[in-house]
């Protein structure tokens, strides 16, 4: 079983398959594999993760990519979307959202080996939860291929 906190899918355009990959991993026995055969705008996202308002957090992870970019602004990265206290698991990805997190993190495309990525962000005064989002394409433009994520962490900084 993957120990990564990314569990739900949202596909606006294209396709997405998600699996635990025991043959390609960096730090543990498996990695989280996110794959799209066709040009896509899609993502995987986590359960709601409780956080404190007005607090600095660090997101860190390892990523390996084999991604073709078709005009996408985001691909092969994890972003942290913030949600208010009214958010519940059954919400759509944009319901009760304080910030989509589009400006967080650095996209990784082309063909790469394992690379470490991390960033910090400060939650807003209205933030009670975060969802980590593994992005394959978007918010405009598409991407396709495979991204592997390993050793995902969200912690106060």
Q: Does some domain include residue 150?
A: yes
Quick one: pLDDT at residue 2?
A: 66
Tokens 């319901």 -> residue: 95
Q: Does some domain include residue 148?
A: yes
Cα gap 61→11, rounded to integer Å: 23
Q: Does some domain include residue 74?
A: yes
Count of domains observed in the chain: 1
In the chain, at which residue ranges do the beta strands (DSSP E only) sit?
8-13, 17-21, 31-45, 49-50, 56-70, 75-83, 97-99, 110-111, 115-122, 129-136, 142-156
Chunked into runs of 10 residues, the chain (157 residues) has average pLDDT values of: 63 89 92 94 93 98 96 95 96 95 95 97 98 92 96 95
Domain residues for the domain of 129 are: 8-156
Two tokens, residue 27: 């730090």
Q: Does some domain include residue 28?
A: yes
Quick one: pLDDT at residue 1?
A: 41
The structure's pTM equals 0.92
How many residues belong to the chain?
A: 157
Q: Does some domain include residue 2?
A: no
Q: What is the CATH number of the domain that holds 117?
A: 2.60.120.260
Q: Does some domain include residue 97?
A: yes
Q: Does some domain include residue 14?
A: yes
């Amino acid at each position: 079983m993957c120990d990564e906190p990314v569990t739900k899918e949202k596909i606006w355009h294209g396709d997405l398959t998600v699996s635990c990959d025991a043959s390609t991993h960096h730090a543990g026995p498996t990695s989280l594999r996110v794959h799209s055969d066709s040009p896509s705008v899609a993502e995987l996202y986590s359960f709601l993760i409780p956080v404190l308002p007005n607090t600095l957090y660090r997101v860190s992870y390892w990523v390996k990519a084999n991604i073709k970019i078709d005009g996408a602004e985001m691909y092969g990265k994890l972003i942290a979307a913030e949600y208010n206290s009214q958010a519940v698991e059954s919400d759509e990805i944009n319901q009760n959202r304080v910030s989509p997190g589009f400006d967080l993190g650095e996209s990784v495309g082309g063909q790469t080996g394992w690379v470490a990525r991390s960033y910090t962000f400060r939650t807003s005064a209205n933030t009670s939860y975060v969802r980590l989002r593994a992005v394959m394409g978007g918010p405009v433009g598409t991407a396709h291929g495979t991204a592997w994520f390993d050793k995902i962490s969200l912690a106060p900084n």
